[in-house]
Amino acid sequence: MKVLITGGAGYVGTGLVPVLLDKGYQVTVYDNLLFGGDPILPFFRRPNFDFIRGDVRDLDSLKKATKGADVVIHLAAIVGYPACRKEPELAKAVNVGGTKNVIKATSDNQLIIFGSTGSNYGAVEEICTEETPLHPLSLYGQTKTLAERMLLQERNTIAWRFATAFGVSPRLRLDLMVNDFTYKSVTEGYLVIYEKHFMRTFIHVHDMARVFLFGIENRCQMVNNVYNVGSKKMNYSKEDICNLIKKHTGVYVHYADVGEDADKRNYVVSYDKINKLGYDTTITVEDGIRELIHAIRAIEFRKPYANV
């Protein structure tokens, strides 16, 4: 099995690559190394690993890279609303233009697996299922929604609408909610939290890696579909997350409405569709908090890992 991963040097990708390499797949990462190449260094000693430094906006290069791949996992993106807000033209060119190029560079006999997001839903009152209409509020959500739609229309695609990731990965991101709150709790000793009752949903980065394998192995029954990826056990309010972190760090938490989430994510998500097929998450938020505390206390990060 030959798998090409665009954006494979990122937070999700560097958690996914070893899982696919261990399975014996031939894995090629295609990435422009926006955040550097250190996180992928351990993979170069693996005989079934290859790396192409390339940009998804470069169609010719992408065409060469996708040739011969059985599966193309499309992760390359400008990720998160702050990064998209900072460079909106780049976000559109990469998230939408780059996805158009993935469509042009691939054919019907290749499976595309797309890393989509729950940010596509926008503000929703009822429990989100895959049928819930999409009303993305930020440029990030809008570009990801468009990309998801194009891929499902044009290619044999499985799209994962992921919960918010947490946990340690080689390309650590500390701008994700659980990671950010845990980092600040350990390094600063206090948190100021707005929208404390907002409900969010989470998934460990290793459980994200597992679902790509699940999709490849069950491709026949899953293709041409979109799935919320997470678990019903993993819907929490922001206050719940703070209480879990407080239990392990003793952090002082002050609640004050001093900000807002541009994606207005305040939703409970149903994962029945994917859970019924046999996929569920394995790592709890509390486990993730413990692993983050361990890493943050042990390593003095030279600069906070974030996307902006």
CB of 144 to ligand NAD, least distance (A): 6
- Is residue 206 close enough to count as binding ligand NAD by CB under 6 A? no
Count of other CB atoms within 10 angstroms of residue 140? 26
- Is residue 77 close enough to count as binding ligand NAD by CB under 6 A? yes
Distance CA 24, CA 39 (A): 20
User: Smallest Cα–Cα separation from 112: which of 203, 223, 16, 17?
Assistant: 223
Please report the DSSP string for 104-131 in residue order.
HH--TTSEEEEEEEGGGS-S-SS-B-TT
**Beta bridge partner(s), residue 4:** 28, 72
What are phi and psi for residue 66, nearest 5 degrees?
A: -80, -15
- Is residue 102 close enough to count as binding ligand NAD by CB under 6 A? no
- Is residue 34 close enough to count as binding ligand NAD by CB under 6 A? yes
The span of 10-18, 183-191, 249-257, 277-285 binding ligand NAD (CB under 6 A) equals 10-18
CB of 176 to ligand NAD, least distance (A): 5
The footprint of ligand NAD on residues 132-151 (CB under 6 A) is 144
The footprint of ligand NAD on residues 160-189 (CB under 6 A) is 162, 164-165, 171, 173, 176
User: Smallest Cα–Cα separation from 148: which of 88, 202, 45, 228?
Assistant: 228
**What track of x and - describes contact with ligand NAD for positions 242 through 281 (by CB under 6 A)?**
----------------------------------------
CB of 197 to ligand NAD, least distance (A): 21
Helix or strand run (H / E) with residue 273: helix 272-276
Based on CB atoms, which residue is closest to ligand NAD, 102 or 296? Answer: 102
CB of 190 to ligand NAD, least distance (A): 24
CB of 240 to ligand NAD, least distance (A): 18
Based on CB atoms, which residue is closest to ligand NAD, 147 or 244? Answer: 147
Based on CB atoms, which residue is closest to ligand NAD, 233 or 247? Answer: 233
Q: Quick one: 278 exposed, middle or buried, by C-beta within 10 A (0-12, 13-18, 19+)?
A: exposed
CB of 170 to ligand NAD, least distance (A): 10
Q: How far is CA 56 from the centre of its chain?
A: 17
- The 3-state DSSP class for residue 201 equals strand
CA angle at residue 57 from 53 to 62, to 5 degrees? 55
The footprint of ligand NAD on residues 108-127 (CB under 6 A) is 115, 117
Distance CA 31, CA 6 (A): 6
Would you tell me which residues interact with ligand NAD (CB under 6 A)? Answer: 6-7, 9-13, 31-35, 55-57, 75-77, 79, 94, 98, 115, 117, 144, 162, 164-165, 171, 173, 176, 307
